[in-house]
Amino acid sequence: MACSPCFEKLIGLRNVCVPVDIKSCKWVDDVGISIHTIEQIITKGYAGPSDFFQKQYDFAVGEMVATINSHYSPKYITNTIIEGKRMGFNSQTKTLVPNTGKWVGIVVELANSNSYVDFYSPELSLFTNFTGNIPVRVYDLETAKLLDTITVASVAGEVSVIQANKLFNSKRKNMTLFFCYDSTGIDNYKTNIKNSAGCCGSAKNIWSNSYIKAYGAYSDTGGFTYDVIKKGDTTYGMSMVYSLQCNHEQWLCSNLNLLATPLVYKLASNIFLFGLNASSAERVNTLITINRDDMINSQTFYENKYRETLENVLKNMQTPDDSKCFQCKEYNRSVISLP
């Protein structure tokens, strides 16, 4: 299991895995695990100490996150906030819109002040009179940063669909995304931001609800900031399905300073557990004789330290004031039982 990006490089191993920010990380060496320890127990299935360390680290993160999620599950709202919605619909008549030589597409504005939510698009389509690959870029209009590129294999006269499966984290603030493509040499068929039979939003060319406002838009300057984007009366052949999803892991990422200590002990425990279970014939260094009693004592010590420090963290880590993704009701949980 690959660990969440926010957990990457939180724990280091000197002379093997050195975090970028060495001032804020913890070293597994400081609790008694060194490269020498790993060289004694590593087996032939690993490329080397760095590969072994990273895989053990990812597994330890996965175990700890699963334990925390289990503990807080009664306070999680696990369903998506909005799901199965579409923005961008074909017009009743197949109307061809000449190319404009502009960056065209859909702007999505997420109104969010303090919730841990992600904008997820599982599907994106283009309806154009062009055959070939069309790169759809996704810009953050707050920063003009290019976040992603989705390439649609377009077929002229057909609705060309791609399973995009793209996730964008709002980071507990408002977010404005621009999904766009260069329409130079590409005619498109007119598409409306909302179904004419629907009732979402009062403005003719705007799709809106309590979370999202979306509209067709273009940039005729090549700039990708909110102030230069103009609203259009079409979505330029673009359509997408989206949902807003709670991201409880992002909340955990905001508590990394508390979670680093139990994580380093869990990693040490797992390394010694691996040493106990690894076949001596599979070890890279078969000349080393492992003292099982010492290893059992070490693994027990580190596992107990992990449980102790994690329990202390869970007693003091409060869930946020976020009614979209967390239950507001208080639960009496005086006893913490780790698996």
213 and 280 part of one domain? no
Q: Please indicate, yes or no, if residue 171 is contained in any of the structural domains.
A: yes
CA pair distance 7, 264, nearest whole angstrom: 12
Q: What per-residue confidence (pLDDT) applies to 74?
A: 86
Specify the higher pLDDT residue, 150 or 334.
150
pLDDT at 215 over 60: yes
Query: Where is pLDDT greater, at 211 or 217?
Result: 217
Based on the fold, state whether residues 28 and 138 are members of the same structural domain.
no
Residue 181 has pLDDT above 60, yes or no: yes
Domain that holds residue 131: 89-236
Q: What element of type H or E holds 272? A: helix 256-277
- Half-sphere exposure at residue 93, Cβ-oriented, CA atoms within 13 angstroms: 3
Average pLDDT over residues 13-39: 79
Average the pLDDT over each of 13-22, 34-43, 53-62, 67-76 and give the range with the smallest value: 13-22
Predicted pLDDT of residue 104: 96
Residue 149 maps to which CATH number?
2.60.120
Claim to verify: residue 26 and residue 151 sit in the same structural domain: no
Pairwise pLDDT comparison (7 vs 103), residue with the higher score: 103
Residue 329 domain flag: no
- Long-range residue pairs from 302-308, CB within 8 A, at least 24 positions apart, any chain: 302/31, 302/265, 302/266, 302/268, 302/269, 302/272, 303/265, 303/266, 303/269, 305/31, 305/265, 305/269, 306/262, 306/265, 306/266, 306/269, 307/338
**Burial (CB count <10 Å: 0-12, 13-18, 19+), residue 71:** middle
Q: Are residues 168 and 52 in the same domain?
A: no
In this predicted structure, the answer to whether residue 334 has a pLDDT above a threshold of 80 is no
User: Residue 41: pLDDT band by 50, 70, 90 thresholds?
Assistant: confident
Asked if pLDDT for residue 36 goes beyond 70, the answer is yes
What is the pLDDT, as a whole number, of residue 287?
A: 52
Q: Is residue 278 part of a domain?
A: yes
Residues 106 and 226 grouped into a single domain: yes
Residue 328's CB is within 10 A of a number of other CB atoms, namely: 10
pLDDT band of 18, cuts 50, 70, 90: low
Of 107, 117, 102, 104, give the one whose Cα is nearest residue 140.
107
Rg (CA), the chain: 26
> Which tens digit of pLDDT belongs to each residue from 220-251?
888 999 999 999 989 999 999 998 888 888 88
Q: Looking at residue 202, what is its pLDDT? A: 45
Of 4-18, 216-230, 263-277, give the lowest mean pLDDT range.
Answer: 4-18
Tell me how far CA of residue 290 lies from CA of 38, 109, 198, 263, 278, in angstroms: 12, 59, 70, 25, 11
Please tell me the distance from the alpha carbon of residue 333 to that of residue 331, in angstroms, as a whole number: 6
pLDDT tens-digit profile of 280-329?
667 666 556 677 888 899 999 999 999 999 999 998 888 887 878 888 65
Mean pLDDT of 159-187: 93
* 8 Å CB contact between 145 and 181: no
Q: Which band of pLDDT confidence, cut at 50, 70 and 90, is reported for residue 1?
A: very low
- Position 138 in a domain: yes
Q: Are residues 161 and 213 in the same domain?
A: yes
* Confidence (pLDDT) at 253: 85
Quote the pTM value: 0.74
Do 125 and 229 fall into the same domain? yes
Asked if residues 218 and 141 have their Cβ atoms less than 8 Å apart, the reply is no
pLDDT for res 84: 60
Residues 231, 96 share a domain: yes
Residues 37 and 135 in one domain: no
Band of pLDDT at residue 201, cut at 50, 70 and 90? very low
The predicted pLDDT at position 139 comes to: 97
Tokens of 110: 């997420």
CA-closest candidate to residue 190, choices 95, 87, 99:
95
165/40 same-domain check? no
Rounded to an integer, the average pLDDT of 108-135 is 92
- 223 and 291, same domain (yes or no): no
Of 236, 259, 293, the domain-final residue: 236
**According to the model, what pLDDT value does residue 214 have?**
94
Q: Of 186, 213, 236, which residue constitutes the final position of a domain? A: 236
Kindly state whether residues 31 and 143 are assigned to the same domain.
Answer: no
Mean pLDDT of 203-227: 87
Contact 333, 310 (CB under 8 A): no
| Rounded Cα distance, 148 and 306, in Å | 38
Assigned domain for 47 exists: yes
Q: Pick the more confident residue, 15 or 143.
A: 143
The proportion of the chain whose per-residue pLDDT surpasses 90, expressed as a percent, equals 49
The answer on pLDDT for 335 being more than 50 is no
Q: 232 in a domain, yes or no?
A: yes
- Structural domains in the chain (count): 2
Find out whether 166 and 152 touch, Cβ atoms under 8 Å.
no
Token pair 């925390």 in the structure block, residue: 68
pLDDT top residue among 244 and 20: 244
